[in-house]
Amino acid sequence: MPRVAVVGAGMTRFVRRAEETGKELAWKAAKAALDSCELTLEKVDAVVLASAPDAFDGVHMKGEYLSDGAGAWRKPLIRSYVGGGSGVFAAIQGWYHVASGLFDTVLVVAEEKMSSAQPHPQGAFLTIFDNMIERPLGPNLLWIFAMEMNAYMTRYGLEKKDIALVAVKNKKNAKDHPAALLGGDITVEDVLNSEVLAWPVQRLDVSPITDGAVAIVMAAEHVAKRLTDKPVWVAGVGWHLDTAYWTDRDLHYPRYVEYAARMAYEMAGIREPRKEIHVVEPYDPFDYKELHHLEGLLLFPPGKAPEAARDGVLDRDGDLPSCPSGGLLGVGNPIAAAGLMKVAEIFWQLRGEAGARQVPGDPRCGLAQAWGDLMQVATVMVLRR
């Protein structure tokens, strides 16, 4: 398989409500990524663009609307869309654009502007429920997450305080991220005392509504070696879709994450992920999801990730730093952009360029993961330097 590298990355600050339009955000991130590897747009052969539901923006065919901001005019463009999994999936599509031999240099852009939707962007999600047997019941999106969190807690005998540590860690990590929306010092008690939205989900268990964009540049080996002396190689990719009858799934364990991870590990030749992966960015739109995903990624046995959080294993200076960026809980959750932010973070961590967020120990292998659709798609990328 031809080798493909990430050679540049850039992002906007993540904010609650940006004055910039979606395409202005996309442009800023795309330009920053190109500048980071001193590349001009005419050297880009193709563009991959990720953005989640059109309904956020009220713009049909949002990919076309955003395309000039992503540098895609008069180039081959593909829009990447698997809900919340889109950000990492866009990088996977960038990888196979290059690995196939079709293109040498691909710009991957992920953008989300959630703030336009009124009165609340959650309205965009109401149509994901089955229109015969669920929508007449008046569901809201929190129901699914709350019930999945409850299933996870009940199955493994976990308490809210076991899970709240993740929110505390990620908001603390985000204090060191120059793009972060919600970095800060909070305590487990703050989480447990925050407004109950849909028990067991409370206000501080959830990531914020966010506007922002992220971009990376991916290149074939012969191009990558000309562009940088620190290419970060894509070692493995995986993605997987489970049943959309979400009420038929075992909600306590993300089997689809395991399958996506196994696909990526096989490609990367990873036999013992807990030993061979040095830094990880699992998808954390809710605090329990980070733990759930670490287990699905086979980094901890089912139900055991909370112990790792408690023992400091997941801290930035722990044995397996998890979400050193600050994650979606701390940096913010502009859906598609949040996933690609995780790929960018692993890129910066493996190059030793993560500044105050840099994890110790000279990491050589990292993993970014995202999750979405109707809670049943997982996208995984393993990177090595």
Partner 1 sequence: MSSAERVVPVRGLSDSEFRSVPGTEARVRAEYSWDAGYAMGTFLKGLKEGKILATTCRTCGRTLFPPRAFCEECFRPTDGWKEVGPTGHVYTFSICYVSWDMRRLAVPEIPAVIRLDGASPGMGILHLLGEVDPSRVEVGMKVQAVFRPPEERRGAITDVLHFRPVS
Residues 66-125 that bind partner 1 (CB under 8 A): 115, 118-120, 122-123, 125
Looking at the Cβ atoms of 96 and 143, the one nearer to partner 1 is 143
179 in contact with partner 1 (CB under 8 A):
yes
Q: Tell me 285's DSSP state.
A: S
Looking at the Cβ atoms of 295 and 345, the one nearer to partner 1 is 345
Cβ atoms 216, 340 nearer than 8 A: yes
61 in contact with partner 1 (CB under 8 A):
no
Q: Distance between alpha carbon 30 and the CA centroid of its chain, in Å?
A: 17
Shortest distance, position 151 Cβ to partner 1, whole Å: 4
Residues 153-172 interacting with partner 1 (rule: CB under 8 A): 154
Shortest distance, position 270 Cβ to partner 1, whole Å: 27
Q: What number of chain residues touch partner 1 (CB under 8 A)? A: 72
Give the whole-angstrom CA distance, residue 355 versus residue 2.
Answer: 31
Q: Which stretch, 2-10, 38-46, 98-106, 370-378, contacts partner 1 (CB under 8 A)?
A: 2-10
Instruction: For residue 95, give both structure tokens.
Output: 């990888």
Residues 185-224 interacting with partner 1 (rule: CB under 8 A): 196-201, 211-212
Residues 237-266 interacting with partner 1 (rule: CB under 8 A): 243, 245, 247-251
Looking at the Cβ atoms of 35 and 319, the one nearer to partner 1 is 35
Burial code of 7-41, b = ≥16 C-beta within 10 A, e = fewer?
bbbbbbbbbeebebbbbbbbbbbbebbbebbebee
Q: Is 333 helix (H, G, I), strand (E, B) or coil?
A: strand
Shortest distance, position 140 Cβ to partner 1, whole Å: 4
Binder to partner 1 among 78, 141, 188, 267 (CB under 8 A)?
141
Binder to partner 1 among 4, 25, 365, 380 (CB under 8 A)?
25
Closest alpha carbon to 95 in 371, 368, 278, 376: 368
The vertex-177 CA angle with 282 and 347, nearest 5°, equals: 55
Looking at the Cβ atoms of 91 and 299, the one nearer to partner 1 is 91
Binder to partner 1 among 41, 75, 140, 175 (CB under 8 A)?
140
Residues 264-303 interacting with partner 1 (rule: CB under 8 A): none
Instruction: For residue 111, give both structure tokens.
Output: 């953008």
Binder to partner 1 among 61, 73, 100, 178 (CB under 8 A)?
178
Residues 299-358 interacting with partner 1 (rule: CB under 8 A): 348, 351, 353-356, 358
Looking at the Cβ atoms of 254 and 273, the one nearer to partner 1 is 254
Q: Which residues pair with 281 in a beta bridge?
A: 368
Shortest distance, position 223 Cβ to partner 1, whole Å: 19
Looking at the Cβ atoms of 92 and 354, the one nearer to partner 1 is 354
Residue 185, Cβ density class (10 Å: 0-12 exposed, 13-18 middle, ≥19 buried): exposed
- Sequence-distant (6+) residues with CB within 8 A of 279 are 320, 321, 324, 346, 349, 350, 359, 363, 365, 366, 367
Residues 358-377 interacting with partner 1 (rule: CB under 8 A): 358
Looking at the Cβ atoms of 242 and 315, the one nearer to partner 1 is 242
Give the whole-angstrom CA distance, residue 369 versus residue 92.
Answer: 11
CA Rg, the chain, in Å?
A: 19
Shortest distance, position 271 Cβ to partner 1, whole Å: 30
Q: Is 237 helix (H, G, I), strand (E, B) or coil?
A: strand
